[in-house]
A = this chain, B = another copy of it.
Amino acid sequence: MNEAEIKLKMREAIEQARLKNPLAPSVTNTVTQDFVANAQLASGGSAAMLYLPDECEAIAEIAPAVYINMGTTLPFYAETLPRMIRALAEHKTPWVLDPVGIGMSALRMELLRQMKNTPPTIIRGNASEIIAVARLWGLIDDESIGNVKGVDATDDVESAREAAIILARHINGAVAVSGAEDLITDGKLIAYSSGGSPLMTKITGSGCSLGGVMAVYLAVSDPFTAALTATAAFNAAGMFAASNTIAPASFKVAFLDALYENSTHVVVTNALRLEEV
């Protein structure tokens, strides 16, 4: 794909999401559910947050795409997530994984380990999280890279480049690494998307809501386009919001407004740089 083809696909993803209002249900952390749902609605999608094994299994069959964020892992997710992920695989429902909290808790690690063989379609995380997934799955073995501090990254995007490429190939999908400049790859092509604002790091859930919006676009598009379109939409909206506000709470309001008001044009023309792997 060349840049013009990519932009055409982005345009289609944005328009299809607004037209079809796809349901992109989530199993996600309790902290940022409101932000995730509102970002999904602002992008044209529809939201539902689930917990129980049987409701997750059922939704995995009928939803066009699903978002799974590991930030909150409740004890009964030992049953919820394996059943849901089996159903996602069985029905070939695409899904986005956000490995928040990787490194903490035996249950979260066991659930993430299992996903190696029934993998997500998109993995989104900060650099530290992407490196940690690649290492957990035995795809890279350099113990010296990757460092997760709570839920925030301590590595920069470029340090996760190799892990992202290897992971994207393994899952046969796309990997998105969030940072000052965001990296999205399908294992062959790398897209760098920029924009946003440092204030994005001062509001909780900007990463989670980005993952949720990737699921909305994944309901109407391919993994690479979905990950890139959501990232570009966030970067465009973040830049616009930062041009009008200088503090985090009013920035968040302006950001969600901008996500809703983003024209297709502004997203498609957001700063983009492509590289062959």
Contacts and interface: CB of A to CB of B under 8 A. Distances in A.
A234 B39 CA distance: 22
Given A46-B152, A74-B51, A41 B106 contact: no
Contact of A204 (B31, B41, B75, B149): B41
Contacts of A203: 38, 41
Interface in A237-255: 246-250, 252-255
Contact of A253 (B49, B52, B54, B249): B249
Given A30-B33, A48-B101, 8 more contacts: A31-B47, A34-B34, A38-B204, A52-B73, A74-B74, A247-B261, A249-B253, A249-B256
A205 interface: yes
A49 B30 contact: yes
Interface residues of A, number: 60
Contacts of A257: 247-250
A117 interface: no
A26 to B, nearest CB: 9
A147 to B, nearest CB: 12
Nearest to A63: B150
B76 A75 contact: yes
A158 interface: no
B250 A253 contact: yes
A108 to B, nearest CB: 7
A137 interface: no
A179 B254 CA distance: 27
A55 B100 CA distance: 13
